[in-house]
Amino acid sequence: MFTGIVTDVGRLARIEDRNDGRVLRVLTAYEPETIDLGASITVDGICLTVTDKGAQTAAGNWFDVFVGKETLSVTDAGRWAENKRVNLERSLKIGDELGGHIVSGHVDGLAEIIGRTDLADQITFTFRVADDVAPFIAKKGSVALNGTSLTVNAVDGNTFSVHLIPHTVTVTNWGDNRVGDRVNIEVDPMARYAARLFETLSHKNSGN
């Protein structure tokens, strides 16, 4: 479980493509001794399992994760290249502050950036999503984009916008994103629960 509050911006130091997926080596400020093998870390919003870790004097600390074919099919991880900056967040511990919203790290799909407006150190992004994702996005609701908990400013059909304050731009990789890029999106799980409840009640009432 995560909150969508980015705690480090890592960098992809090595990518190994295999028949069953990709192995990523991520440079990080996280101390290796604080990372357990098998621990979950979100990398640009994707919950991945740590398979190896270590420290390098020159390049910095690192950890390895594996991205399977199924995950590659629903995320943008298959297009990542070495030196890409990625948003990182470690899983919640009991007693941690819930600063964003509940995020699982299970990506629902991709959102395409169709607009970017810069104002001083702030950025407004406009996105387009698939029709099956759009119903779960609501004005003033929460959404996780590349692992960042953000508030939806406006919604129009299958497009929506978010506004990034200077602090968010500084502590994430969002400044790297341009129009035409696609990012990982995870909708607020509360929206899915509400939709499922509505579906169940509607089905029950139609049966009566």
pLDDT at 36: 94
Give tens-digit pLDDT for 94-146. 656 666 677 888 999 999 999 999 999 999 999 999 999 999 999 999 999 99
Over the chain, what is the mean pLDDT? 90
158 or 198, which is more confident?
Answer: 158
Taking only the tens place, the pLDDT of each residue in 189-204 is 776 656 656 655 665 6
Residue 8: the pLDDT is: 97
Ranges of beta strands (E only) in 57-103 are 60-68, 85-90
Query: pLDDT tens digits for 17-49?
Result: 999 999 999 999 999 999 999 999 999 999 999
* CB proximity list for 115: less than 8 A, separation 6 or greater: 124, 125, 126, 161, 179
Tell me which CATH code domain 109-194 carries.
2.40.30.20
User: Which CATH number applies to 8-90?
Assistant: 2.40.30.20
Residue 150, both tokens = 């953000």
**Domain coordinates in residue numbering, the chain:** 8-90, 109-194
C-beta neighbour count of 207 within 10 angstroms: 6
Between 67 and 194, whose confidence is greater?
67
Whether 8-90 and 109-194 share one fold: the answer is: yes
pTM here? Answer: 0.89
List, for residues 74-97, the tens digit of each pLDDT value.
999 999 999 999 999 998 766 566
Give per-residue pLDDT as tens, 43-56. Answer: 999 999 999 999 87
Q: Is 56 exposed, middle or buried (0-12, 13-18, 19+ CB in 10 A)?
A: exposed
pLDDT at residue 58, as a whole number: 75
